[in-house]
């Protein structure tokens, strides 16, 4: 028999499940099986309760900017098209100094792969020592003007006021933020990105499914 074709697409979103790590203070995620064919019910039916910012999700400007655009205003191609995965080696923070050599251009889609991918999503709870952007790094990116910034932690910023500042700097500059990625199986370089958040009317954020396909190279082991 012919061998099944291996898909070149890599799912970089995290599974939505009961008990998944969430931002401190956000409601927990719950998936509950209401009906089940194996129990003799006429169909299988699942109820989901979650915050709009749980797991893989997108932030709209309205999340931290008064009067900012909400998810209804998301340009359709924000999360669809060529993107660049950049490896961040600093184990503590994303800094402007480490970003500068990559010469980020206006309109790019940038995905930052840090130490988070290898540890955040295997944890039973929220990790407080995740790699996050400094305000200076956020200001650098705002000046460069990417259309989308993706990160592999639950937030681009920390739990203190600097985390709020990072959000405001990016969102005020029109940078849409994609958080909660798992880039552990993705090598740095150019990829095709497909990311579509749920169309939550009037919301400041929404859960999303995100996939990437490497451009110009074979996936390791493929």
Concatenating the DSSP letter of every residue in 106-120 gives TT-EEEEE-GGGGTS
Given the residues 53, 57, 63, 167, select the one marked as catalytic. 63
Q: Cα separation of 206 and 72, whole Å?
A: 10
Residue 27 per-residue DSSP state: P
Average pLDDT, the chain: 91
Residue-wise pLDDT for 187-211, tens only, equals 999 999 999 999 999 999 999 999 9
Q: What is the pLDDT of residue 3?
A: 59
Q: By the 8 A CB rule, do 109 and 80 touch?
A: no
Residue-wise pLDDT for 48-70, tens only, equals 999 999 999 999 999 999 999 99
Among the residue ranges 41-55, 85-99, 151-165, 192-206, the one predicted with the least confidence is 151-165
Q: Cα separation of 89 and 111, whole Å?
A: 14
Q: 162 — alpha (psi -120 to 50), left (phi > 0) or beta? A: alpha
Tokens of 216: 């110009």
Residue 57 known to be catalytic: no
Q: What is the pLDDT of residue 220?
A: 43
**CA 24 from centroid of its chain's CA atoms:** 17
Give me the CATH topology for the region 10-214: Glucose Oxidase; domain 1 (3.50.30)
């Amino acid at each position: 028999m012919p061998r099944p074709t291996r898909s070149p697409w890599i799912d970089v979103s995290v599974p939505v499940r009961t008990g998944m790590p969430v931002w401190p203070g956000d409601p927990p995620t719950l998936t509950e099986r209401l009906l089940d064919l194996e129990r003799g019910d006429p169909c299988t039916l699942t109820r989901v309760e979650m915050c709009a910012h749980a797991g893989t999700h997108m932030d709209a400007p309205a999340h931290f900017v008064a009067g900012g655009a909400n998810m209804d205003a998301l340009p359709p191609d924000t999360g669809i098209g060529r993107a660049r995965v950049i490896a961040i080696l600093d184990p503590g923070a994303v800094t402007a100094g480490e970003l500068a050599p990559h010469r980020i251009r206006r309109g790019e889609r940038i995905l930052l792969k840090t130490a988070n991918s290898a540890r955040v999503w295997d944890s039973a709870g929220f990790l407080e020592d995740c790699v996050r952007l400094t305000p200076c790094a956020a200001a650098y990116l705002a000046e460069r003007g990417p259309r989308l910034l993706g990160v592999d932690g639950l937030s681009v910023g920390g739990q203190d006021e600097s985390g709020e500042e990072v959000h405001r700097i990016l969102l005020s500059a029109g940078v849409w933020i994609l958080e909660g990625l798992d880039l552990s199986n993705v090598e740095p370089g150019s990829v095709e990105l497909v990311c579509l958040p749920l169309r939550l009317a009037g919301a400041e954020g929404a859960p999303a499914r995100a996939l990437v396909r490497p451009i110009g190279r074979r996936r390791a082991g493929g």
